[in-house]
Amino acid sequence: MLGLLYRTLWYPALPFALFASRGTEWRSARERMGFGAPALADSEFRIWIHVSSVGEVEAIQSIARRLLRDVPHAAAVVTAMTPAGRDVARRRITSARACLLAPFDCASCVRAFLRRVRPHLVIVTETELWPNYFLESRRIGAKLAIVNGRMSERSAARYRRLLGLFGPALGAADLVMAQSADDAARFASLGVPPERLIVTGNTKFDPDAGLEAPIRRELMGFAAERPIFIAGSTAQGEEEVVLAAFAKLRAQFPDLALIVAPRHLARVPEVEGAVTRAGFEYVKASSCENLEADVMILDTMGELRALYRRARVAFVGGSLTPSRGGQNPAEPAAVRVPVMFGPYYENQRGTAEALLAVGGAKVVTNAEEMARVASNWLGNDEARAAAGRNARESIERRSGGVSTSLMRLRALISVF
């Protein structure tokens, strides 16, 4: 009954959702309504891959590329909830037939999308539990897998309150591959049968993914000749803390430069204001007009992971306040960069605790602590190298998620 009510209420809500979405151009609106997908051929093995945004693209890219390479006649359509995710998917999964904005989770929109794509296999990443995606995919006979499944206790409690809606949706999944035993236990508490549930680890732990990605010449002009401190995936209020720490560090390391990469590019003007108030000159990555500036604001998508290779130390945001649960610290750790993050890292708990246990990461709560920890690493090459080496080894130990997930997905594909 709850599922029927959910589906019914979507129809009068659609115009408001379309207005609220940032894709106001006609092509984006068509994608949201489910009409933008290409028609895939009967002769192809058809795959729909759905992600939330940029981070999920990074987590699924290795799996997507290998499936499209190894499965005969495979064709994939990738959908993302955000334009940024769609754009990064186009750069990372170049063999996909199309990368689009995801259809609204309304039965009519999802059905319009499915009539074009007609997937044999649907792959949903992390926490993208959209009921109509699951139920309508099951209705047409597609196999459905959750890859890199993540479920915080807060999310699980919310889903339990709506079990009449999310229980049938999760029941439609043929396979749930969870990041950790805790994630798996929360999926099980929502009714996922144990025979459909497996712990694979995090597919973002492909430690060599992105190692060969080129760094733009203009960015190298900023980052090549001086020590770099990168603050990645920062959230509101965190830039002020980072800049205060940077000011303290510059007194000790006058050549140090800072790269700030806000998690959401809509916040770039806000970050510009914070840098100006802190008294630093800045350059934006999109223009690279003043490569002698103290600070670079990374206002482009898809370049942070490669830039981590140039960092001496890193801070990973979304972690200084309790609202976001932390962003992924594995990316700097994988390239031997010791990493700092705040105390609110529950969405990355397994990774964060593994890094903390080997000394590859430190928790900081304010600018003073951030400056002190960074100073210890910047001022001691041997200690910094050891921390970075331990961080890399920690990620390598957790890097089986891609191969395990591929093995399980191939087993689903084998039934066709």
Q: Residue 373's domain spans which residues?
A: 217-397
Q: What is the rounded distance in angstroms from the CA atom of residue 57 to the CA atom of residue 318?
A: 18
Catalytic residue numbers read: 56
Q: What is the pLDDT of residues 32-54, one digit of tens each?
A: 999 999 999 999 999 999 999 88
Confidence of residue 23 (pLDDT cuts 50, 70, 90): very low
Report pTM: 0.70
Indicate the pLDDT class of residue 203, thresholds 50, 70 and 90: confident
pLDDT digits (tens, 9 = 90+) for 259-309: 999 999 999 999 999 999 999 999 999 998 888 999 999 999 889 989 999
Q: What is the pLDDT of residue 159?
A: 93
Answer yes or no: is 211 within a domain: no
pLDDT at 59: 86
pLDDT at 202: 81
Number of domains the chain is built from: 2
Q: Which of 181-185, 319-323, 368-372 has the highest mean pLDDT?
A: 368-372
Q: Are residues 245 and 316 in the same domain?
A: yes
Same domain, yes or no: 72 and 173: yes
**245-265 core/surface letters (b: 16 or more CB in 10 A; e: else):** bbbbbbeebeebbbbbbbbeb
Q: Does one domain contain both 171 and 262?
A: no
pLDDT at 415: 85
Of 314, 373, 320, 374, which Cα lies nearest the Cα of 345?
A: 320
pLDDT of residue 43: 96
Q: Can you give the pLDDT at residue 400? A: 78
- Residues 175 and 253 both lie in one domain: no
The CATH number covering residue 126 comes to 3.40.50.11720
Span 333-371, pLDDT tens digits: 999 999 999 999 988 888 899 999 999 999 999 999 999
What span, in angstroms and rounded, lies between the C-alpha atoms of 415 and 61? 24
Q: Residue 155: how many CA atoms within 13 Å on its side-chain side?
A: 19
Position 112 in a domain: yes
Average pLDDT over residues 118-146: 96
What burial letters (b/e) apply to 137-146, b meaning 16+ CB within 10 Å? Answer: bbeeebbbbb
Residue 11 pLDDT level (bands cut at 50, 70, 90):
very low
Percentage above 90 pLDDT, the chain: 77
Residue 2's pLDDT is 55
Same domain, 197 and 331: no
Q: Does one domain contain both 198 and 119?
A: yes
Same domain, 202 and 270: no
Please count the other Cβ atoms lying within 10 Å of the Cβ belonging to residue 315: 31
Same domain for 408 and 341? no
As given in the structure block, the two tokens for residue 225 are 């000749």
The answer to whether position 327 is within a domain reads yes
Within this chain, do residues 34 and 172 fall inside the same structural domain, yes or no? yes
In this prediction, residues 154-161 reach a mean pLDDT of 92
Average pLDDT on 96-115 reads 96
